[in-house]
Amino acid sequence: DAKTTQPTSMDCAEGRAANLPCNHSTISGNEYVYWYRQIHSQGPQYIIHGLKNNETNEMASLIITEDRKSSTLILPHATLRDTAVYYCIVRVRKSGGYNKLIFGAGTRLAVHP
């Protein structure tokens, strides 16, 4: 199963873009990259996912490099409520059809005024 590497922590000023990097150099061709976040003591919240094309939704943008070995989650205008732990996950499609999400330690993003 592909593993991911993320910085332990990052800071961002409120109103600025937060760019969270993730390395997944062993990713396979059929494995998706997912991003979740976990705000203190809540359940993980889905943000965005992609396979090889860049993706954008109302929460964030996902930029995946052409070789798919790394990606960046972009929160375009970070707010204090975006302070959370952000998980970059490679989803592995297992036999039997379920999606295995391998959670690492994530990046602790602190947004400050």
Residues of the shown chain interacting with other proteins in the complex, contacts defined by CB under 8 A:
30, 32, 34, 41-46, 49, 51, 87, 91, 93, 96-106
**Cβ proximity to other proteins, 4 vs 70, nearer residue:** 4
Contact indicator for 62, 88 with CB cutoff of 8 Å: no
Contact indicator for 9, 108 with CB cutoff of 8 Å: yes
**Cβ proximity to other proteins, 40 vs 113, nearer residue:** 40
**Cβ proximity to other proteins, 16 vs 94, nearer residue:** 94
Q: How far is the CB of 38 from other proteins (least distance, A)?
A: 9
Q: How far is the CB of 8 from other proteins (least distance, A)?
A: 11
Q: Three-state DSSP class for 34?
A: strand
Quote the CA–CA distance of 13 and 18 in Å, as a whole number: 8
Please name the helix (run of DSSP H) or strand (run of DSSP E) that holds residue 56, with its range, or none: strand 55-56
How is residue 72 written in tokens? 């960046």
Q: How far is the CB of 9 from other proteins (least distance, A)?
A: 12
**Cβ proximity to other proteins, 15 vs 103, nearer residue:** 103
